């Protein structure tokens, strides 16, 4: 049985997410790409030079963890080196979205403080965590993939400087898109708050309480397994001061 037919339901869900990204204007032109690990050595990924609003099931490409095309008539996204790094170095990750949501992208070109590294809303704090800025490198290159190395095992979402956003999760592609939507909403709130007088963060005690909620609900911490000690340690140092 062909892979596309075997995973028909996944392909349909994947293309719907492509279309939602385009409808939300989180991707424009040929920009953005996404991938979903279906098996240990099988990844479904978007094709190169295709508007995500036009991606159909027949356009989707299947590759292995070495980047070899398993099935598909189109070439995979030119950001394939980046995705291979993600899935090989974070085997716990199931799905990844790279896109350009406007408010997050405003922060990607901002010279100011990266407020997405701080605890602001419960949902963003417990489901996404801090979002570091990965230094700029030319798109579609191995150099860009390597820029993620200092951050990849500790975090699940990344602002790409002067470029866009990458979000990954251990769940399916729809869950990862919901995290993108939460981040874009949070970034919009940050920009509005800055124009309205400033930012008010959650306290150490607030974050500690959210960490207890995560333990009660058996929610995993961000990053690779066993890398981060606690939720509060992602936001505060041993003295209780903001990182």
Catalytically active residues are 79
| Sheet with 69-71: strands ordered across | 69-71, 61-63, 42-45, 33-39, 95-99, 164-169, 157-160, 133-134
Both structure tokens of 134: 């990965």
Indicate left, alpha or beta for 34 from its phi (over 0: left) and psi (-120 to 50: alpha): beta
Question: What does the longest C-alpha to C-alpha distance in the chain come to?
Answer: 59
H or E stretch covering 61: strand 61-63
Tell me, what DSSP letter sits at residue 236? B
H or E stretch covering 191: helix 173-196
- Sign for the CA dihedral angle at 167, 86, 155, 31 comes to negative
What's the rounded Cα separation, in Å, for the pair 87 and 96? 9
Q: Return the number of other C-beta atoms located less than 10 Å from residue 210's C-beta.
A: 20
Both structure tokens of 158: 């990344």
- Sequence-distant (6+) residues with CB within 8 A of 53 are 18, 19, 22, 23
Number of residues that make up the chain: 243
């Amino acid at each position: 049985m062909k892979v596309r037919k075997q995973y028909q339901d996944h392909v349909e869900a994947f293309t719907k997410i492509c279309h939602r990204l385009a409808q939300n204007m989180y991707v424009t032109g040929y920009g953005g790409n996404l991938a979903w690990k279906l098996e240990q050595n099988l990844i479904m990924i978007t094709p190169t030079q295709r508007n995500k609003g036009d991606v159909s099931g027949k356009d989707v490409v299947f590759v292995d963890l070495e980047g070899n095309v398993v099935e598909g008539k189109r070439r995979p996204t030119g950001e394939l080196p980046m995705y291979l790094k993600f899935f090989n170095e974070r085997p716990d990750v199931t799905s990844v979205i790279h896109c350009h949501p406007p408010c997050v992208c405003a922060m990607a070109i901002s010279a100011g403080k990266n407020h997405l590294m701080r605890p602001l809303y419960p949902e963003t704090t417990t489901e996404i965590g801090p979002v570091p800025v990965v230094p700029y490198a030319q798109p579609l290159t191995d150099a860009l993939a390597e820029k993620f190395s200092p951050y990849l095992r500790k975090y699940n979402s990344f602002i790409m400087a002067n470029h866009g956003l990458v979000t990954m999760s251990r769940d399916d592609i729809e869950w990862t898109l919901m995290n993108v939507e939460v981040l874009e909403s949070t970034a919009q709130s940050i920009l509005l708050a800055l124009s309205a007088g400033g930012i008010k963060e959650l306290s150490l005690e607030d974050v500690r309480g959210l960490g207890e909620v995560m333990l009660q609900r058996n929610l995993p911490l961000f990053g690779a397994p066993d890398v981060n000690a606690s939720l509060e340690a992602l936001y505060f140092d041993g003295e209780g001061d903001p990182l």
